[in-house]
Structure 1
Amino acid sequence: MSQTTAARTRSDSADDVGTEPDRPEPARWKPLTRIAFRFCLLYFGSVCLFIPPIVFVLTGWFGFWLGHGAAYWPVRTVQPALNWVSRRLFGVSTQLYPSGVGDQTIFWVLLFCVLVVAVAGTAVWSLLDRRRAHYRTLAGWYLLVIRLSLAGQMLSYGCAKAMAVQMPQPSLTALLTKYGDFTPMAVLWSQVGVSRPYEIMLGAAEITAAILLFIPRTALLGALLAMIDTLQILVLNMTFDVPEKILSAHLLLMSLLLLAPEAPRLIRVLLLNRGTGPSAVPYPFRTTRWRRIAALTQVAFGIWIAAAQVHGSLHAWRTGGPDRPKPPLYGIWSVSQYIRDGQPVPPLTTDETRWKTVVFDYPNIVTYQQMDDTLVTVSADVEAADHRIRLIGDRPQPGSTAEPARTLNPQGILTFQQPNPDNAVLTGELDGHHVTLTLDRINPNSFPQRNTPFHWMQNTPRL
């Protein structure tokens, strides 16, 4: 056996038993690098722990068993301290709303507290551990956690868009809402929701970044793609006033954090057009065997999170997408005749009680349009078997971010008849008056948002 073959055999044997091969002693980190690492570990570690979506996504299937409220448990544990800080320092009261909104006052106070603790902790840590040369092993584990956390969140975003449930097609009520009544966020949601292929492609880019991040060998490319994706998300959140600015900004910073150790190599390749050396990113697994085991484990972890996100997106698709349950009179109906107490009510724009249009879009919800085009959404118990609708009161419209200018609280019980698919009649009591409403169906596809086809050639823009 030759010396080369023998050396290779000894090396393979060392890998098989999991022993660490001889490696040169890592270079001493610069003082500023050590301080920056301590701060990033304390700050982003706390952010990943306390910002609900990041922790919740990593639970995978357990998240469905625990319920979405479990994601707020870390914040609830420190809520008394946050309330004290908000009153003493900022003079405002805070409350945790489990609404999924990430820019609540309490989260801004939390971010301030995390920043103060990270700065103080970095100062104390730097003073007590000033002689340490580097933190390569700790940095390897830390970057692994950051990478998996970022990948999980990108997968959550991507699945929601790929199945077109994050920004659904504009609802029937949205079709009747004047453009000027839409909030900037509603404009963004309608803009993306009206083009399902565009939303799917956005989701595919985020899913691709997540898959690349879950695989160690492609993590660098995944971090680059995640940086582009999160930058776009942050720009949209900032310019359309979407209340997820805290999360999107920190996802962008996390992607930059993963790219920071590779900055010299990226500069040589992308800016100087030169070759690169080996990666300098710390990684906790050094032997061949453990690297393979770690890679398979990370891929399996990604599959675990992906299965949960796909399941959640499919559930949202069935309950809120095109295949969701629809009410008996699903559609938009024009009130051609309105009779109150036996007398026809003329369609005057000054009459706030006469209905102009009725929308049945979601189960147990009725939206009607007044004569001045104000849209009012109310809760309703719809009994399909008895053809009965009991109006309860005001209720926000699901899937819509456009709020009506003012709301009323009508009470009453109406029965409906549908002699043919394009006509219906509502009779009963409404606000103490006996009413009869004759309804004519309006085809939703008559709106440009629903019936404008794709064009390869256009001589003038279709505005």
Structure 2
Amino acid sequence: MQEQKPEQAEEWNLLSKLAFRFLFLFISLFITFLFLRWLIDPLLAWIGESIFGLSENLSRVSSGSGDRTMDYLAVFLQAILAVTGVIAWSLIGRKRNSHRKLRFWFMSLLRLFVAAVMLVYGFAKVFLIQFQTPSLTLLVQQVGEMSPMGLAWTFMGFNPVYTIFTGLLEVFAGLFLIFRRTKTLGALLTLGVMGHVAVMNLCFDIPVKIFSLHLVLMSLVLLSEDWRSLSHVFFGSNRALPKVKYHALQHTAVYHNIGKIKGIFTALFLFLITFVGFFILKPKIDRQQKKYRFYGIYEISDFEKEGDNDEVSSSQDWRYVIIEQKNKANIKFRDSVSAYHLIIDENIQKATIYHKDADSIPPNFAIQKLESITYRLKGKIGQDSLKFKMQRLDLKKFPLISRGFRWVNETPYNR
């Protein structure tokens, strides 16, 4: 083995310290900003206006996206503070040769943070909360009308087995990260899973790009502790392996019981996630997806319209009425889809149809049942008089539903 020169070792030690200080500050600031955005948002808005000359998209109200202008401003501030902190730290702590204790606590807390994130995201997939099966509206929507994110969400939610499988990978990664003996395996699994997630977010315009890339960075930082062991395993490196790794609690009474403590807290955390996911969020989603009596896709025929009110449709005719929830419907026009309220009262053979953003109105349509799955409606929306028939389609006409899984495929069924 080639002996390392003292000046090379000193240079590497300096670079290692600078890298650690930057990553410590950069990641710590990112996690802090996650929980204190309400506190720094005014500063971010000022930075956007004063430094970058931005006047729009500086809202402090969350929209559900993690890649807003304000989020990129937060990363900018995070990087500036990290670089400034490294410079100040290097000037103040020039004589400090080791960050052993700080590194230990940083890595330990970072590992637990990443583990918690992986468990939350994983169980959201296992309980089928994050992704659901494709809606009826998607069945009549052309692929070209979908957004890249909508296409990805449809793919992920199509088969619950696949969704649960990907969720279990995240769950196992989180569990492995909790315990020191399996933390390297957990970090490797996290890097693989979150690397795939980050690429998917980038390629399908899913607005969690910043967070997923930070998780990839965090997994690489966690793996940096074991770079000697990993290089030995993967590349057959002859570098000497560390004999005993430093543990800040090694000479305390807690050290011998730390496994039990982690086991108890892990069990409580898993119970909390399971309780919230399975007994609170999952039933709520199941109620939303409960099939209403008129559930289905209704094809429109004999459509007649009198009037020129754009409230009905700029395309002049309706193609489908899609009913998935009680008193709600999506109406598919020739080139668009719009959400409406649809309230059907069979007792008086009346229906109420009005746009989702409009105020409630009295029944404005007469509805007549022609067959078990066919209805005729006649009424008015605004100044437009409408008359049409709607017939419920057999959902098995859609290959996405009827094809199913087959072990044997004589030819590819790719449509």
Asked whether 1:439 is paired with 2:393, we answer no
Distance of 1:282 and 1:243 partners within structure 2: 39
Counterpart secondary structure, 1:211 = helix
Cα distance 1:363–1:281, how it changes in 2: closer, same or farther (>3 A)? farther
Provide the residue aligned with 1:3 in structure 2. none
Scaled by the length of structure 2, the TM-score of the pair is 0.85
Q: Does 1:92 align with 2:92?
A: no
Instruction: Report if aligned partners of 1:381, 1:392 keep a CA contact under 8 Å in 2.
Output: no
Equivalent position to 1:455, from 403, 406, 410: 406
Residue in 1 aligned with 2:328? Answer: 365
Change (3 A) 1:50 1:281: farther
* Residue among 77, 82, 91 paired with 1:118: 82
Tell me the CA shift for residue 417 of structure 1.
5.8
- More off after superposition, 236-245 vs 87-96: 87-96
Per the alignment, residue 43 of structure 1 pairs with 26
Quick check: 1:414–1:428 contact (8 Å CA) kept in 2? yes
Matched, 1:336 2:301: yes
Q: Does the C-alpha gap of structure 1 residues 391 and 49 become closer, same or farther in structure 2, counting only changes over 3 Å? A: farther
Distance 2:243 2:293 in 1: 62
Q: Is the 8 A contact 1:319 1:325 kept in 2?
A: no
1:347-362 aligned within 5 A: 352-362=315-325
Contact kept in structure 1, 2:289 and 2:324, CA below 8 Å: no
- The CA RMSD measured in Å over matched residues stands at 3.1
| Counterpart contact for 1:338–1:354, Cα < 8 Å | yes
What's the CA shift string for 1:160-204, capped at 9, x where partnerless? 211223221110000100011111111111112112211111111
Aligned residue for 1:166? 130
SS at match of 1:95: coil
Q: Distance in 2 between matches of 1:184 and 1:264?
A: 41
**Does residue 377 of the first structure (1) align with residue 339 of the second (2)?**
yes
User: Equivalent residue of 2:315, what SS?
Assistant: coil
Query: For the structure 1 residues 368 and 210, does the alpha-carbon distance in structure 2 shift closer, same or farther, using more than 3 Å as the test?
Result: same
> Counterpart amino acid of 2:285?
G
Change in Cα spacing, 1:183 to 1:300, as seen in structure 2 (3 Å) is: same
Does the 8 Å contact 2:315/2:335 carry over to 1?
no
Q: How many residues align?
A: 396
Runs of 5+ consecutive residues of structure 2 not aligned to the other structure: 1-8, 308-312
Alpha-carbon offset, residue 420 of structure 1: 5.8
1:262 and 2:262 matched: no
Stretch moving more, 118-127 or 318-327: 318-327
Is the partner of 1:357 in helix, strand or coil? Answer: strand
User: What CA distance in whole angstroms lies between the structure 1 residues aligned with 2:287 and 2:165?
Assistant: 19
Greater relative contact order (Cα < 8 A, sep 6+): 1
Instruction: Name the CA distance, whole Å, in 2 between partners of 1:367 and 1:101.
Output: 24
Tell me if structure 2 keeps the 8 A contact 1:427–1:436. Answer: yes
Structure 1 contact 368–376 (Cα < 8 Å) conserved: yes
Shift of residue 286, structure 1, vs aligned partner: 0.9
Counterpart-to-counterpart distance in 1, 2:287 and 2:136: 12
**1:103–1:351 Cα change, 3 Å:** closer
Task: Note the 1:139-218 alignment, pairs <5 A.
Answer: 139-218=103-182
The Cα shift of 1:100 comes to: 2.4
Structure 1 residue runs without a partner (length 5+): 1-26, 56-73, 344-349, 396-407
SS in 2 for 1:224: helix
Q: Following TM superposition, by how much is the alpha carbon of 1:252 offset from its aligned partner in structure 2, in angstroms?
A: 0.6
1:360, distance to aligned residue in structure 2 (A): 0.6
Normalising by structure 1, we get a TM-score of 0.77
Secondary structure of the residue that 1:453 maps to in structure 2? Answer: coil
Change in Cα spacing, 1:426 to 1:410, as seen in structure 2 (3 Å) is farther
